[in-house]
Amino acid sequence: MDMLNFVLLVSSIYASSSFTPVAATDADALLRFKSSIQKDPGGVLSSWQPSGSDGGPCTWHGVACDGGDGRVTRLDLAGSGLVAARASLAALSAVDTLQHLNLSGNGAALRADAADLLSLPPALRTLDFAYGGLGGSLPGDLLTRYPNLTAVSLARNNLTGVLPESLLAGGAPSIQSFDVSGNNLSGDVSRMSFADTLTLLDLSENRLGGAIPPALSRCSGLTTLNLSYNGLTGPIPESVAGIAGLEVFDVSSNHLSGPIPDSIGNSCASLTILKVSSNNITGPIPESLSACHALWLLDAADNKLTGAIPAAVLGNLTSLDSLLLSNNFISGSLPSTITSCTNLRVADLSSNKISGVLPAELCSPGAALEELRMPDNMVTGTISPGLANCSRLRVIDFSINYLRGPIPPELGQLRGLEKLVMWFNGLEGRIPAELGQCRGLRTLILNNNFIGGDIPVELFNCTGLEWVSLTSNRITGTIRPEFGRLTRLAVLQLANNSLEGVIPKELGNCSSLMWLDLNSNRLTGEIPRRLGRQLGSTPLSGILSGNTLAFVRNVGNSCKGVGGLLEFAGIRPERLLQVPTLKSCDFTRLYSGAAVSGWTRYQTLEYLDLSYNALTGDIPEEFGDMVVLQVLDLARNNLTGEIPASLGRLHNLGVFDVSHNALSGGIPDSFSNLSFLIDVSDNNLSGEIPQRGQLSTLPASQYTGNPGLCGMPLLPCGPTPRATASSSVLAEPDGDGSRSGRRALWSVILAVLVAGVVACGLAVACFVVARARRKEAREARMLSSLQDGTRTATIWKLGKAEKEALSINVATFQRQLRRLTFTQLIEATNGFSAGSLVGSGGFGEVFKATLKDGSCVAIKKLIHLSYQGDREFTAEMETLGKIKHRNLVPLLGYCKIGEERLLVYEYMSNGSLEDGLHGRALRLPWDRRKRVARGAARGLCFLHHNCIPHIIHRDMKSSNVLLDGDMEARVADFGMARLISALDTHLSVSTLAGTPGYVPPEYYQSFRCTAKGDVYSLGVVFLELLTGRRPTDKEDFGDTNLVGWVKMKVREGAGKEVVDPELVVAAGDGEEREMARFLELSLQCVDDFPSKRPNMLQVVATLRELDDAPPPHEQAPASACD
C-alpha cells in the first residue's frame, strides 16, 4: 500500500467517526479514570465504552464538549454514588481542555488524595469535590497551579493538616469562591492573605485558630464570609464587619470576645444573615443594626450581651425572619416596635433578664410570627388577649416568668397552635374551654401555677395532644374518661392538685402513654387493671419530637412524689434553684436531653406514680406485663392484698415504693433477681426477706413498720433469745456493798486514766506548737499564693486549712508515693497554675504534676461540695485505691485539706481518646482502634464483674478513655459519679447521669444508673472509633445524634457509609469484615432496650472473636474480662 492510499484509509476511518485523534485521547483518559472506580451502583458510567463509532466521549453520561472540535470541557458526576479506593484524578490530566470538574456528593466512598489535585488539567476553572472522600493535606500551590480557577468547593471531606497561609494570596488572580468547610484543617488564620477577587469564603467547621484576619477587609467584593465552628479568638475587627457588600457574616461557635462592632451598621445595606452566636460577645446590641434593612436572620444567642434591645433596631428590620437572642443577659422590656417586624417568624429570647409587661399588641394584622419563646425571664403583668392577633403562632413558651392573671380565652383563636408552655408563673383562673378549638395542639404544660376549676371537656377535641402537664395547681373535679380518646398522649402529669374520684379505666386506651403521674390528689377506688396491659399495637413515630426534656428528681420527704418531667428548652439549669416551689424540694438531680423520635416504641408505661392518694384494692397482677416500667410509686394509699410475684419480671424497674399501705403476705422471692430501690415500710408484710440478690443489703428503714418481717437487714427469723443477767458482760453482783465498792474501784481507774491522758496531751501539744511556729511563715506564704485568684487556674477554698500544716501527707496506695505531701503537690504544679492545667470536666480540674524525681502524676481537684460526708469520702477512696487493672487509670492517692479534695492518679502521656480521635492528635489506624476498644471494654468489664461491690461508671465517654505510653486504653473517672453523689448533700442541680450523646434513653425517663447504661455509653464510644465522628453534632445529625444517624444509615442499607473514610482508604477485605462485625456489636450495645444489650462479659468475648488470633503482644486472658 502506497502512502497515498494509507492516508486515504486513515482519513476515511476518522471521517466515519465523530471524534478526532485528540478526542480519542480524551476518551482514553476518561476510561483510565473509570478503571479506578470500583463500584458504580447507578450505572452512570455504563455509556463510557471504548468504541470508535458511538459519537465519542461527548455523548457519555456526565461529559460535555462545549466546542466544535469534540474536546471535553466539562465532567459532572455529582451524586452518582461512585466508589473508589483512590480515584485516579491524575488520569484526567490528559484532558487538557477540561474546565469544569464536579465530583461532589458521592460520599466518603469516593476517595482521593488531595495531592492528586495538582495533576488536573491547567485549564480548570471550577472544581467541586464537596461531600466526598478527599483526604490528606491541602497543597499550598493549588490555586497558583490553576490561574483560571474561579470556584473551589472541597467541603465535607477529610482534609487534614495546616491550612496554608499563602493559599488564597495574590497567586490566585481569578478565585472568587473558596469553600473548605467541614474538614479537619488547622492552623492560625490571623496572618493569612486573601485575593481581592474573593466573593465567597467558607472556612467553617474546621479546627482553625487565631484572630479573624484583618486582611479580609481588602476583599471589597466579599458577599459571604463563614468562619463558624472553629477556635477563633479575639474581637470582631471593625474593618471586616464593615465590608460594604457583605450579605452573609457568620462567625458563630468560636471563642470570640468583645462587642459587636458599631461599624457593622455603616455599610450593611446588603446584609441578610448575621450570626455571632455561641461566643463570648459582650456589650449591648448596637443601634447601628437598625440600618440593616435587608437583615433576615439575627443570631446572637449564647453570649454575654447586656442592655436592652434597641427599639430602633426592631422598628427598622422589617425583613427580619428570625431573632435569636437566647441565653444572654439582655434586660429591659420588649420594645413595642416589634410590631413593625411583620415578617418576623421566630423570636427566641429565652434565658435573659427581660422584664416589664409584654406589648398589648404584639402583632399587627397579618403578622408572620410562628414561635414566641421567652422562658426564663422576668416578664410581669398579664397575658394580653391581643396575642391572638398573632394568628400564625404555633409555639408560645412563657415558662419561669412572673405572669399573673388568667389565660386569655382568645388564645383559642390560634388555630395553628401546637405548643402552649407556661409552667411556673402566677397564672390564675381556669383552663379556657376555647383551647379546644386549637385542634393541632400537641403540648399543654401549665404546671406550677394557681389554675383552678376542672379540666374542660372541650380540651379533648385536641386529639393530637402528646404532653399534658397540670401538676401543682388547684385543679378540681375528676380525671375525665375522655382522656382515653388521646391516642398520642405520651405524658400525663396531674399531680399535686385536688382531683377526686376514681382513675378512669379509659386511660388504658391511651396507646402511647408512657408517663403517668397522678400523685398527691384525693383519688379513690381501685387501680385500673387495664393500665398494665400492652397499650399499643404499633408505635407512633415522632411523638414528643422537638421537645427538650428534663426530669427533676425529688430526694427526701420535703416534696411528694418521685419527681417531675419538665419542658426545658432555653432554660438555664441553675435557674431551678431560684424557683421557690422547686427550691423547697430537696432535689439533687437534673437529667435533660432531647426527646427521641419514636418515644412510644416500648408501648407500655415506663413511669407510674399514684402515691399520696386514697386508692384501695390490690396491686394489679397485670403490672408484671409492663416490661419497661422503671418507676412504680404506690406509697401512701390504702392498698391491701399481697405484692404480686409477677412484678419480679420487671427487670428495668428502678424505683418500687409501696410504703404506708396495708399490704400483707411476704416479699416475693422473684424480687431477688432484681436490682432497684425498694421501700415496703409501714405495711402488714410478714415472713423472711429474700436473702438472695440485693434485698438483704438495703437499709433496714426500707422494711420497718412490718412487725412480721424478719431476716437481714432486720432481726433474724426465729425465736428471739431471752436476755438474762448472766448474759451481760456488764452485769453487776447484787447488794449495796458490792455496788459502792465497784464505784470506788472505777473512780480510781478513771482518775489514773485522766491523769495519763492529760500528761500525754500536754507533751504532744508542746511538740506541735513548736513545730508549727517554725513553719508558720512558709505556710502563710503558700496559703496566700493558693488563694490569690490572679495567680492560679482555680479558686481554692481552704477554710480551716489555714490552721493546718501544709505538709499533711497524701494518703497513698503505692509505695513510691508514700512520702508525698501536699506541699510537694503545690511545688510540682507551680501552685496549681494555669500552665499545669491539662483538662477539666464535670468532676473537677486536672493538673499535671512533675515530682522532684522527674516522674509525673495527674492531680484531680474535685469540684467544691458541702462535705458533710468526710467518712464517705475516705471510705470511697479506700475502695477505689484497691482497684487495680491494666485497663483502669490507677488511683495512687488522695489528700484532704480544708474544703479541698485532691486525687492523685498515674499520668497518661498520650492524652484522651477524644483528643486523639477528634483532634486528630494521634494516628489511629484500624488495628489501633480495635486495641483501644478492647482495652476500654476490659476495664469496664472489670468494674462490672470483678469488683466487689460492683462499680457502675455512669459517665463512660471518649474523654474518659485515656491512652498510656504504650497506647493501651485506660478507663478513667470510675467511681467518681458515685463519690460525688455520696458527698453532694447540699441543694444543687447536678448532671450525674452522664454526658449528652452518651446517655442511654432510659436515663431520661428514670434516674437509675445501671450497668446496661454503661454498656450503651461504651457503644457510643465504639461508634466514635468506627465513624470518627463526635456523638453530637447538629450540623451532621440535625435533631438526632451519632447513634440515631448510624441506625438510620443501617436501616437504609448504607451502613458502610458510616465508617471513617480514613479507615476505609486503608482497609482490606478482612478489615472490612471486622468493621462490619464491630458495627454490629456497637449497635447491640446501643439498643434502646436495656435488656437486649449484651453485658460486658459478652462484649469482651465478642471483641476477642474479632481477630482470628490475639495480637502477639497480648497474653492469654487471665479472666473473662481479659
Determine how many CB atoms are found less than 10 A away from the CB of residue 177.
19
Which residues neighbour 912 within 8 Å (Cβ) at sequence distance 6 or greater? Answer: 839, 958, 959, 960, 961, 962, 963
* Spatial contact of 110 and 1064, defined as CB atoms under 8 Å apart: no
Whether 658 contacts 634, CB under 8 Å: yes
Backbone angles phi, psi at 202, to 5 degrees: -125, 105
H helices present in 495-569, as ranges: none
Q: Is 955 a catalytic residue?
A: yes
C-alpha cell at position 602: 416500648
Please count the residues of the chain.
1122
d(CA 884, CA 409): 66
Q: Residue 446 burial by CB count (10 A; 0-12/13-18/19+): exposed, middle or buried?
A: buried
Distance CA 1012, CA 675 (A): 12
Residue 1055 to residue 1059: CA distance in whole angstroms: 8
Judge if the upstream peptide bond of residue 1031 is cis by omega within 30 degrees of 0.
Answer: no
Handedness of CA 497, 547, 843, 1122 (dihedral sign): positive
Alpha carbon distances (Å) from 981 to 590, 867, 907, 956, 985: 12, 11, 25, 16, 8
How far apart, in whole angstroms, are the C-alpha atoms of residue 287 and residue 1006? 47
Q: Cβ(198)–Cβ(226) under 8 Å?
A: no
DSSP string, 79-107: T---BBSS--GGGGGG-TT--EEE-TTS-
Closest by Cα among 59, 103, 116, 81 to 26: 59
Pairwise CA distance, residues 624 & 438, whole Å: 38
| Concatenated DSSP letters of 787-821 | T-TTTSSS----GGGGGS-TTPBPEESSGGGTT-B
Task: Mention every residue, 6+ apart, whose C-beta is less than 8 A from residue 1051.
Answer: none
* CB-count burial class (<10 Å; 0-12, 13-18, 19+) for 172: buried
CB atoms within 10 A of CB 93: 16
Single out the residue of 410, 479, 421, 477 nearest to residue 448, CA to CA: 421
Q: Which residue has the cell 471486622?
A: 1074
Q: Of 26, 348, 679, 955, which one is the catalytic site residue?
A: 955
Residue 1067: all three cell numbers together: 482497609
3-state secondary structure of 516: strand
Q: Residue 174 is which amino acid?
A: S
For residue 207, give the nearest of 152, 135, 255 by alpha carbon: 255
What angle (nearest 5°) sits at the alpha carbon of residue 45, between those of residues 43 and 48? 140
Q: What are phi and psi of 772, to 5 degrees?
A: -65, -40
Concatenate the DSSP letters of all residues of 639-680 into one string: --SBPPGGGGG-TT--EEE--SS--EE---GGGGG--SEEE-
1049 is in an annotated binding site: no
User: Burial letters for 969-1005: b for 16+ Cβ neighbours within 10 Å, e otherwise?
Assistant: bbbbbbbbbbbbbebbbeebbbbbbbbebbbbbbbbb
Contact 872, 829 (CB under 8 A): no
Cell matching residue 192: 493569612
Ramachandran angles phi, psi of 500, nearest 5°: -125, 180
Binding site, annotated residues for ATP: 861
Binding site, annotated residues: 861
Residues noted as catalytic: 955
